[in-house]
Amino acid sequence: MKLTVLGYYGGYPQNGVGTSSYLVQSNQFNLLIDCGSGALLSLEKVLDPLQLNAVVLSHYHHDHTADIGVLQYYWQLHPQNRAQDLLPIYGHTQDPLNFGALNWPNSTIGKPYSEDKELVLGPFEISFLETQHPVPAFAMRITERETGKVLVFTADTNYFNKMVEFSKNSDLLLTDTNFFDDKQGKKWHLTAGESGTLAKLAGAKNLLLTHLPQNGDLEELTRQAQQSAGDLIPVQHAELRKGYQI
């Protein structure tokens, strides 16, 4: 499978780079994970948005869902040449108002997922883990059935032990790394060091940092994560529209 980063900032876009959104592809199946600010513009540069097969949202904070509305309009105003009649958008049901908004006439349909049931989408099997965040949010473990390759996306979260087992032996671990190691006070996102520690304890093969801060040196952020991960796990920070083969 292939991962393409469509946006990697947390909170808000900056300098032409949007917030969290990721395209995961395998066997001509196109899965969008989160749809933050700027996602549609970025997606258009790598894929016709009408060729999406499904969208899965980790949670409903705006930096992960800001472009859902315009994606719905795009599908509504382009009734021809779609991959299917309606685009399914998967979300959790703990927020009925936001879940209900995933339905849009003649374009998208909201579909539920839950922590206790695996979701099968095309070539992928996806399991979920509720994270530690101010609103309900869910990490995803995406397995490509044909190869057994595993992508784990932590979504927005504080560090907690269940995430280690959930991320076990992942081929690529994509972590919410919004803070440098000197972050003080309450945290609802991982520090660079925590991302590295998670990768090391989980035995991840590769670590990719995302949901990045707008301020500070991203190479230093990566260095801090690498120090905690150890020398055996390659660590990178996300780059706009860069593809990663898994």
Contact 57, 112 (CB under 8 A): no
Q: Hunting for tokens 């992942």 — which residue is that? A: 170
Token look-up 């349909």 returns 109
Kindly give the confidence (pLDDT) of every residue in the chain, 246 residues in length, as a single tens digit, with 9 standing for 90 and above: 999 999 999 999 999 999 999 999 999 999 999 999 999 999 999 999 999 999 999 999 999 999 999 999 999 999 999 999 999 999 999 999 999 999 999 999 999 999 999 999 999 999 999 999 999 999 999 999 999 999 999 999 999 999 999 999 999 999 999 999 998 888 899 999 999 999 999 999 999 999 999 999 999 999 999 999 999 999 999 999 999 999
- Least Cα distance to 132 among 156, 113, 108, 96 occurs for 156
Question: What is the DSSP secondary-structure string of 72-137?
Answer: HHHHHT--SS-SSSSEEEEE-SSSHHHHHTT-BTTTEEEEE-BTTB-EEETTEEEEEEE-SSSS--
87-114 exposure pattern, b = at least 16 Cβ within 10 A, e = fewer: bbbbbbeeeeebbebbebeebbebbebe
Question: Cα–Cα distance between 138 and 102 in angstroms, integer?
Answer: 17
Note the pLDDT of residue 11. Answer: 97
| pLDDT score recorded for residue 204 | 99
Residue 29: name the closest of 1, 4, 56, 7 by CA.
Answer: 1
Residues 6+ apart with CB under 8 A from 238: 5, 8, 174, 208, 209, 210, 212
Tokens of 64: 């992960």
Residue 162's pLDDT is: 98
Check if the beta carbon of residue 130 is closer than 8 Å to that of residue 154. no
Structural domain span for residue 52: 2-245
**Residues in the chain, overall count:** 246
Q: Between the CA of residue 54 and those of 17, 75, 162, 168, 231, what are the distances in Å?
A: 23, 13, 27, 26, 36
Residue 42 CA to residue 45 CA, distance in Å, equals 6
Instruction: Note the pLDDT of residue 183.
Output: 83
- According to DSSP, the residues that pair with 43 across neighbouring strands are none
CATH code: domain of residue 201: 3.60.15.10
Please tell me the pTM assigned to this model. 0.97
First to last CA, the chain: 5
Q: Give the pLDDT confidence score for residue 45 in this predicted structure.
A: 98
| Residues 63 and 28: beta-carbon distance below 8 Å | no
pLDDT at residue number 150: 99
Number of folded domains in the chain? 1
Give Cα 32 distance to the centre of its chain: 8
